[in-house]
Amino acid sequence: MKKTSTVPKDMDEYLAGVPEPARSTLQKLRAMIRAAAPAGTTEGISYGIPAFKYDGPLVGFAAFRNHCSFFPWSGAVVDALKNDLKGYETSKGTIRFAVDTPLPAALVKKLVKTRLADRERKAQKK
C-alpha cells in the first residue's frame, strides 16, 4: 500500500489506495466480513485501517507491501482458532495472508463469530 500522510476518511478511500491484487483480495474479505457480522455492524477507519464496529471494535484488515492482514484485535481469538490458522503467519492479534489470496469464507465467518463470543465473555466479566 502507498504510504500517505493522511488517514483515509472511509473504507472505500482506503481500498482505492491499495494496488492490485491486494485491493481485490481485501474487497472479497470485506464482503465476507459483512456476511458474517451481525446486523448493525458499521464500517469505518480505526488506527488508520478499515475496521468493522459492533458495540465497539470488531475486526479490521489492511494491506502491506508483501502481505495482507486480518485483525481480530484479540489474542484469544487467534489462540482459540490456532488449528484453523495453521499455514498462516500469526501473532497476538494478527493473521497474515497472501496479497492475491483472501482467507477462506468459512474461516472468516469463524473468526468473526469467535471475536463476537470473546467480546461477549469479556462483557459478562465486567
pLDDT at 3 over 70: no
Q: How confident is the model at residue 51 (pLDDT cuts 50, 70, 90)?
A: very high
pLDDT at 1 over 90: no
pLDDT value, residue 124: 84
- Full-model pTM: 0.91
Chain-centre distance of CA 35, in angstroms?
13
What DSSP character marks residue 2? -
pLDDT value, residue 98: 97
pLDDT at 2 over 60: no
Three-class DSSP category at 50: strand
Q: How confident is the model at residue 31 (pLDDT cuts 50, 70, 90)?
A: very high
pLDDT value, residue 53: 96
pLDDT value, residue 123: 82
Q: Could you give all domains of the chain from N- to C-terminal order, each with its CATH number? A: 11-125 (3.90.1150.200)
Looking up cell 459478562 gives: 124
Half-sphere exposure of 44 (CA within 13 A, CB side): 11
pLDDT single digits (tens) 78-109: 999 999 999 999 998 899 999 999 999 999 99
pLDDT at 4 over 70: no
